[in-house]
Amino acid sequence: MKAKISTRLENILRDEQARELLRRHLIGGRDGQIVVGNVRYRLSTRSVDRVAEKSQPKKVVSSR
C-alpha cells in the first residue's frame, strides 16, 4: 500500500540536495525552507501553518 507522498514532496525527494535538507529539517523537528530548481517550499509539521498560509493573499509578481 502506498503511503501518502504528494507531488510537491516527490519533487523534493528527486533532488539529492533537497532530500538531504528535508532529512535534516525533519530530524531536527523544525520548519524550514527547501529550494528545488526555482521553486521554494516551506516545510511545516503543523497544519495550522498551512491554513495560515492559505489564508494569506498570494504575492503578485509582474512579469515585466
Partner 1 sequence: MEFAVSAIFLIVLILPGFILQTAYTKGFWRWNSPTSNRSLSEQIPAGIVLAGVLHVAWCSLAVALGYRIDLSAIFMLLTGAYGHDEAHFETAVTALTNNASKITLYFASLYLFAALIGYLLHFAVRRLRLDKTTRIFRFNNHWFYLLSGEIAQFADSPIQIDDEIDGIWLTTVVHHSDADYVYKGVVTDFFYDREGNLDRVYLIVAARRKLADDRRGEEIGSPESESRYYPIEGDYLVLRYSEMSTINIDYFFVVPEETAEEEQES
Positions that interact with partner 1 (CB under 8 A):
1-6, 8-9, 12-13, 19-20, 22-24, 26-30, 33-35, 38-47, 49-51, 53-54, 59, 61-64
Q: How far is the CB of 34 from partner 1 (least distance, A)?
A: 7
Question: Nearest-5° angle of CA 44, CA 12, CA 55?
Answer: 40
Q: How far is the CB of 64 from partner 1 (least distance, A)?
A: 7
Q: How far is the CB of 63 from partner 1 (least distance, A)?
A: 8
Question: Nearest-5° angle of CA 7, CA 15, CA 63?
Answer: 70
| Cα Rg, the chain, nearest whole Å | 14
